[in-house]
Amino acid sequence: MRKSSIAGILVLSLSAFGGVKIPGSAEEDKDKVMSDAYWELWNPEVQAKIDRDIEANRKADAEVKLEGVAEGTPVKVEQLTHDFIFGAHIFNFDQLGDKAINNKYKSQFGTLFNSATVAFYWNKFEMECGRPRYAGEYWDSQEFWESCPNPEEQLHWRRPPTDPVINYLKGRGVRIHGHVLIWGSRFNSIPAWLFDKCLEGEERERFFNDILKAPIKFGAKCFPEEYQPLFDKLEVSELDRMFPKFGDNLKREFAGRITGIAECYKDKVDSWDVVNESAPDSVGDNMNVGGKLMKSKRYKLMPADYAYEGFKVAQSAFPPNVKLNINDSPYSWIEEYAAQIKNLAERGCKIDIVGVQMHIFSPASTLAIASGKNPMNEAEQAAFKQIAPNEVWNMFRILDTGRPVHMSEITITAPDETERGGMMQAIIARNAYRLWFSLKPVMGITWWNSVDGCGYIGEPVLSGLFTRNMEPKPSYYALNGLINGEWKTNLDVKAGKGGEVKFRGFKGKYVLSWKDSGGKLRRKYVHVK
């Protein structure tokens, strides 16, 4: 299946992969889907380094002794699973309006993907205070979504109840990642009822009479934007003095959310994003360590030192074997992110994995990357820096925390629905996955929206590996060819003296099979790591 990544082309067989061909190098890009400038970035020297690093970082030597096996006995070596995580989010579980399409969607997990990110966004997980959406209701049913004319406009679109999703994944043997416990986004995470509940008694009156001088109108939003300018005028010390109970109540609610989920799932979920996109809030004096409230650079009013507090609660609430992640899109503040991780670790936070998001949301950015046009505008330049090999290597040098890295949210959008547009997405995805897979700290890669038209507001329509009807796109064939082709070890070897079998393969679980002297098929399962 594998040909040279430097000089060759990944050719996917007609029987297995529909006959789709994904160019793998400039030499094979006959129709010039990508420009010469693009291929200069991914030149033979770069590709050779990636190949060397994959060999060094993703493979291991194995020595297995098969008792009673004669020297020269043929042994088949088959890789069953990867240690490396290949994931996607599963936010559209049973929401695609057709049972057959839903089944295709779910079947990705356990075939292409060995990991799934499950949605735990607070504002949709607990729309009503004290009523978390663990179990499904009628509006989560196949019948509801089949009869729904406007699924993307539903409040719970991309936010299915968690129990059915987790139970399904457990049944498929798929690793589970929870996203996210604490995120300060008013639009995407903080529930509308939170500040209203936490503001009580004399402090509520003070809020009304001294600060707003107008009626309180909490409703669909948590802390409406028009309130914020009034609080911007107050120093953090004044906020702490005027609203101490409010700060305590917020801290209690944030902690209660974490402990409640931990009590429910214990270690059924393998890892969690404890805090999301918090790096700018965790450096300098704005954390208000030891205080009640903080003026977040990104989310305005938040509990003081919320990233630290979130990790301390999570590491007490979850079993030790559950991995605790920090997650961010750090390209604009990579130094701040590295400093945040160092600061939290020095203060005793258990940070097992560092999440790095990479989103190319704009079709124009994809075209710019493919064409290598110069100069790029600011958005296109930012996208370019996320994907160019030298820029990625430099970022990982800065973000050297000694912890595994999860490429936690990957978006690469096709610029249009043409064949050429689909090939652009596939080529960029294939090269990026090869680069990330080669990096020693990287432990996994998670594609974000695997189906076209299933993104969140503002996310591109054509960022999937599949069409809206679950038809595979070139990007699917590119990744499947890597994950289930090039990066899976399948060998025929012969046993050595004393039944010893030696081989080198990608890290993961294997089955070795052979026939004994009586012709009976025998198997031995091993883990190469």
Helix, strand, or coil here: 465?
A: coil
User: Is the pLDDT reported for residue 214 higher than 80?
Assistant: no
Give the CB-side neighbour count of residue 202, counting CA atoms within 13 A.
Answer: 5
> Does residue 394 register a pLDDT over 70?
yes
Calculate the average pLDDT of the chain: 92
Is residue 6 over pLDDT 50? no
pLDDT band at residue 20 using 50, 70 and 90 as cut-offs: low
Any domain includes 414? no
CB hemisphere CA count around 68 (13 angstroms): 9
Encode pLDDT of 297-334 as tens digits. 889 899 999 999 999 999 999 999 999 999 999 888 89
Asked whether the predicted pLDDT for residue 19 surpasses 60, the reply is no
Pair of tokens at residue 254: 């944030």
Residue 443's SS3 state is strand
> Is 11's pLDDT higher than 50?
no
In angstroms, what CA-CA distances link 381 with 9, 323, 389, 434? 28, 34, 14, 21
Please indicate, yes or no, if residue 371 is contained in any of the structural domains. Answer: no
Query: Residue 494: phi, psi to the nearest 5?
Result: -120, 140
Residue 181's φ and ψ, nearest 5 degrees, are -80, -50
Q: Is the pLDDT of residue 165 over 50?
A: yes
Helix or strand (DSSP H, E) at 38: helix 36-41
Of 254, 249, 244, 248, which Cα lies nearest the Cα of 310? Answer: 254
The answer, yes or no, to whether the previous bond of 389 is cis (omega within 30 of 0) is no
Question: What average pLDDT does the segment 55-64 reach?
Answer: 98
How many domains does the chain fold into? 1
* CB-CB contact of 490 with 505 (8 Å): no
Higher-confidence position of 204 and 8: 204
State phi, psi for 53 to the nearest 5 degrees.
Answer: -70, -35
User: Would you say residue 130 has pLDDT above 90?
Assistant: yes
Which domain does 334 fall in, by range? Answer: 180-351
- β-pairing verdict for 21-22 and 10-11: antiparallel
Q: How confident is the model at residue 30 (pLDDT cuts 50, 70, 90)?
A: low
Q: Is 79 within a domain?
A: no
Question: What is the token pair recorded at 373?
Answer: 């046009």
**Domain for residue 147, yes or no?**
no
Write down the pLDDT at residue 4.
32
Does residue 239 sit within a domain? Answer: yes
In a domain, 338, yes or no: yes
Beta-bridged to residue 208, according to DSSP, are: none
- Comparing 141-155, 250-264, 278-292, 341-355, which segment has the lowest mean pLDDT? 278-292
d(Cα 191, Cα 209) in Å, to the nearest integer? 25
Residue 236 domain-assigned?
A: yes
pLDDT in tens, 89-108: 999 999 999 999 999 999 99
Residue 344 lies in a domain: yes
By DSSP bridging, strand 271-276 and strand 323-328 are parallel
For the chain, the farthest-separated pair of C-alpha atoms sits apart, in whole angstroms, at 91
Report residue 272's pLDDT band, with 50, 70 and 90 as the boundaries: very high
Q: What is the pLDDT of residues 427-467, one digit of tens each?
A: 999 999 999 999 999 999 999 999 999 998 888 999 999 99
Q: How is 71-118 classified by DSSP, letter by letter? A: TT-EEEEEEEEESSEEEEE-TTTT-SSSHHHHHHHHHTBTTTBSEEEE
Residues facing 490 on adjacent strands: 78
**Which pLDDT score is estimated for 25?**
78
DSSP string computed for 313-370: HHHHHS-TTSEEEEEE-GGGSHHHHHHHHHHHHHTT----EEEEEEEE--HHHHHHHH
Q: Name the least confident of 1-5, 35-39, 259-263, 381-385.
A: 1-5
% pLDDT > 90, the chain: 82
* pTM of the predicted structure, to 2 decimals: 0.95
